[in-house]
Amino acid sequence: MCSTSWWTPCDRPGSIGTVGLYLPSDPGAPNEDAAKGLLLFNIGKFFEKGLSMGSGQADAKGYAHYLRDLIITGRAEPSFVVSKQLPLADAPDAYARFDKREDGYSKVLLHPHKDRKAS
């Protein structure tokens, strides 16, 4: 499968930045190419538009304390990205569902002291 939808709207000459975590291999990927870490796209059209692309992983450890402090002081409200809140005891099942890419398990917040009946 070849995709152009992610860069077609970009004006020429333009730049595209990719965000996320891309793995060299992913057995749970949606297709065979993605499972091998391949992103297929029309390189000819990409060059024709004179586009450039940047990528890289975010420095999560570098931002962790800063973001934590924003949350503690109430200046940031991350709950909009949380898909589900569960007790820690449900972690194995939640991870299995996340690994299968089941809807509702993209960002699971685990509570170590929350009991199952209160979820």
pLDDT tens over the chain, length 119 residues: 456 677 777 778 888 877 666 677 887 788 888 888 887 788 888 888 898 888 877 777 888 899 889 988 999 887 778 889 999 999 999 999 988 888 889 888 888 887 655 44
Question: Both ends of the chain: CA-CA distance in Å?
Answer: 41
Between the alpha carbon of residue 116 and those of residues 52, 83, 119, the distances in Å are 49, 17, 6
**pLDDT the model gives residue 93:** 95
At residue 119, the pLDDT reads 42
pTM of the model: 0.45
